[in-house]
Chains A and B, each alone.
Chain A
Amino acid sequence: MRFYSLILLFFFIKNILALELVQGDYYIVNSTLQIAGGGEISAGTMVMLRSPEEGRWDVQLQVVNESGLEEPVRVSEEWFKKSSMYFGPIQQESQAQDAVLEDLTKSIDTQIQLVQNEQMNPTEKKCSPEVSLRPVARPAHIEQRAELGSTRPVPRPEALQVDADLEALLFKSDNEKDSYLACYERERSYTDDYRNKYKNSIAVVSKAATTVAQGNGERIDEGDFNTLLTCLIFRESAHFEGGSSHSGAVGLGQFTGIAVKELKNMLNHSPRDSESLDQISELGNLWREGSIENIDYQRALASRVSNMNMRSRRDEIKAFWEALPFEKPSSSQINKSYMGDNDNHEVVIAASAMMLRDCALRLKNERESMDANLRLLACAGAYNMGVGGFKRNALSRNSNGGIYAWVNNLKNSGSGQANETINHIISINRCIQKEKNYPPCGTRSSHCQELNQTEICSDPKALKCVGEC
């Protein structure tokens, strides 16, 4: 009893102390803090609190470095309280710190002197035959400085993002994707269902969706869309099982009641250009009957869509629905039990594709500079969190930065769904990513000895799921 009381008392005191902001005192930042106007303060940095003003949203901080205090910056007061630890006032620099600072000042002076000398006599130094072009060894005292080092924590450099993002946007081919799915199969019968039924539906839906999108001016690859849609269904349906989840989502596309309503809204939408829509529907019927070849269907469909008078993004979604070459239910027939039945896989997969495309069109309107594949990947994330939630929590900063930036934003968002969405989007990214075969979050492979795999924890560039490694 006494032991627990002491622990609770400790928390109590810690809570009170954590709220205290003392002007002029020092704090240690223990998770990255965003600076208003751009930039961030890394974890492990020591800062001095400059001005905690009562009732304001921000506080002013000065980062402490070897040469003293940097320019003041502003961060959210709430996040500063959440992400920092009270260090206390600093009375006096220790002798060791003084020595480091003195040495640093000396070496900077020497380097400035060297640069100045070079600038004063550039021709003499570079062209004179006596002067060797070989690199000159650093003066001894500069080498010594490196050994001295500061005891302060050095912020870890972040992984390079550009290369990683480019890699993340190279999608697996059809064969690579199927090997991956087989590798992480949960039950043989589920994988068989994919091979015998769902795979063809995904292919048909992908062809129709991308042809309509291309007709509407989108640069989108059918194979990439197919891979992403497959990986999304794989993830959502728990490796093609397609049951019900604890949250009430059902089937291969894990449709919730609200998503079913939204789907019905999409289907009930009536584009003004009904003539084009009828022609598109007729093309879908011809393809279903086998009266036209795939290539003719695609050409005719893209051409009709490009001539369609589109007034909203829902016009494109409706055109896609009409272009599908299978029996389609009316919106009144669609309900949760219909969407939860795996025998309705064609319609369920088409509905998931409609959600993806609807989201991609929303992002296209609001973020014109975003690459089509990047939007697709973002929409796979939004499928889990909702478009608004994903935009707010994952695309809040540097939305073109790709999955690394989004995961970082999600980590900092404070959202209760952040971890789930991080694992969701990392799993889909691992499934689509070319030449990489990392497992979906929370799973291990048991059927893929022949697949080229790298140990995830030993790859510093690989994004890690929450709690992995």
Chain B
Amino acid sequence: MNQRVGKKIFSLLCLFVLKSTFATSTLDLIPDQLDFKELKKLESRMYEWVQKTGKEDLVQISQMSQRPSEVELIEFLFPHLLPENYKGRSLYLNCFHLYDQLSKKKDRPSYDKWKQCVLYDYRQPEDYMQDVMSKIEKQLKK
């Protein structure tokens, strides 16, 4: 009995350690089920975060390399929420029109165009970007 409990605790602790080792904070912000409805909700949450943080702070954050995870996600998916004088805003808007089309059409061709743009901009995309892309791909119209 004791051995069983010990094994369970051991497995739980293993999971915890693995999770804390491999999880990145940006990935934590992304829900497991990321359909287009969830993406809208995520956008609203990020909008609130942007409002709370304020333009001045955001411009300061844009000059830093040690940035909060929320900002990374916003730069990637919702750059239109960033203030005009945010450093590199135009760069982050590169693929946004394609993402915008994708969120309206939700079909394979729009997805492929957006993915190509992202992959060209980020030849080796970050883990969370790949995670978002694969989750979106699962939600496309058949």
* Shortest CB distance A262–B (Å): 5
The answer to whether B10 and A389 touch across the interface, beta carbons within 8 angstroms, is no
* Shortest CB distance B50–A (Å): 11
- The interface size bin for chain B is 35 or more
Q: For the complex, is A11 an interface residue (Cβ under 8 Å from B)?
A: yes
CB neighbors of A among B106-125 (8 A): 116, 119-125
The answer to whether B64 and A386 touch across the interface, beta carbons within 8 angstroms, is no
The answer to whether B69 and A78 touch across the interface, beta carbons within 8 angstroms, is yes
Instruction: Knowing A5-B9, A396-B64, say if A57 contacts B123 (CB, 8 Å).
Output: no
Q: For the complex, is B57 an interface residue (Cβ under 8 Å from A)?
A: yes
CB neighbors of B among A374-414 (8 A): 383-389, 391-393, 396-397, 409, 412-414
**When chains A and B are docked, how far (Å) is the Cα of A383 from the Cα of B61?**
26
The answer to whether A392 and B88 touch across the interface, beta carbons within 8 angstroms, is yes
Q: For the complex, is A23 an interface residue (Cβ under 8 Å from B)?
A: no
**When chains A and B are docked, how far (Å) is the Cα of A79 from the Cα of B52?**
19
CB neighbors of A among B74-92 (8 A): 75, 88, 90-91
Q: For the complex, is B25 an interface residue (Cβ under 8 Å from A)?
A: yes
* Shortest CB distance A110–B (Å): 40
Q: For the complex, is B70 an interface residue (Cβ under 8 Å from A)?
A: yes
The chain A residue with its CB closest to the CB of B10 is A5
Contacting B121 at CB < 8 Å: which of A79, A386, A412? A386
- At the interface with chain B, which of A253-261, A276-284, A432-440? A253-261
The answer to whether B123 and A389 touch across the interface, beta carbons within 8 angstroms, is yes
Chain B CB within 10 Å — which of A58, A261, A392 has the most? A392
Q: For the complex, is B67 an interface residue (Cβ under 8 Å from A)?
A: yes
Q: A-B contact count, CB below 8 Å?
A: 117
- At the interface with chain A, which of B16-24, B35-43, B96-104, B132-140? B16-24
Chain B CB within 10 Å — which of A55, A75, A416 has the most? A416
The chain A residue with its CB closest to the CB of B53 is A57
Q: List chain B residues, Cβ under 8 A from A397.
A: 63-65
Q: List chain A residues, Cβ under 8 A from B32.
A: none
- At the interface with chain B, which of A29-37, A100-108, A458-466? A29-37
Instruction: Knowing A386-B123, A414-B24, say if A392 contacts B61 (CB, 8 Å).
Output: no
The chain A residue with its CB closest to the CB of B95 is A388
Q: List chain A residues, Cβ under 8 A from B24.
A: 414
**When chains A and B are docked, how far (Å) is the Cα of A55 from the Cα of B48?**
12
Q: For the complex, is A148 an interface residue (Cβ under 8 Å from B)?
A: no
Contacting B90 at CB < 8 Å: which of A258, A366, A420? A366
Q: List chain B residues, Cβ under 8 A from A11.
A: 13, 16-17, 20
The answer to whether B52 and A388 touch across the interface, beta carbons within 8 angstroms, is no
Q: For the complex, is A417 an interface residue (Cβ under 8 Å from B)?
A: yes
The answer to whether A385 and B122 touch across the interface, beta carbons within 8 angstroms, is yes
CB neighbors of B among A245-270 (8 A): 247, 256, 258-259, 261-262
Contact with B along A34-60 (1 / 0, CB 8 A): 101110000000000000000111100
The answer to whether B66 and A412 touch across the interface, beta carbons within 8 angstroms, is yes
The answer to whether B17 and A12 touch across the interface, beta carbons within 8 angstroms, is yes
Contacting B70 at CB < 8 Å: which of A57, A259, A387, A415? A57
Contacting B122 at CB < 8 Å: which of A37, A56, A389? A389
Contacting A385 at CB < 8 Å: which of B65, B71, B123? B123
Q: List chain B residues, Cβ under 8 A from A166.
A: none
Q: List chain A residues, Cβ under 8 A from B64.
A: 34, 36, 76, 396-397
Binding site for B on A (CB under 8 A): 1, 4-5, 8-9, 11-12, 15, 33-34, 36-38, 55-58, 75-79, 247, 256, 258-259, 261-262, 366, 383-389, 391-393, 396-397, 409, 412-417, 420
Binding site for A on B (CB under 8 A): 6, 9-10, 13-14, 16-17, 20, 24-25, 52-53, 57, 60-61, 63-71, 75, 88, 90-91, 94, 116, 119-127
Query: Could you list some 10 contacts between A and B, CB below 8 A?
Result: A33-B66, A36-B57, A38-B63, A55-B52, A386-B124, A386-B125, A389-B126, A397-B64, A413-B65, A416-B127
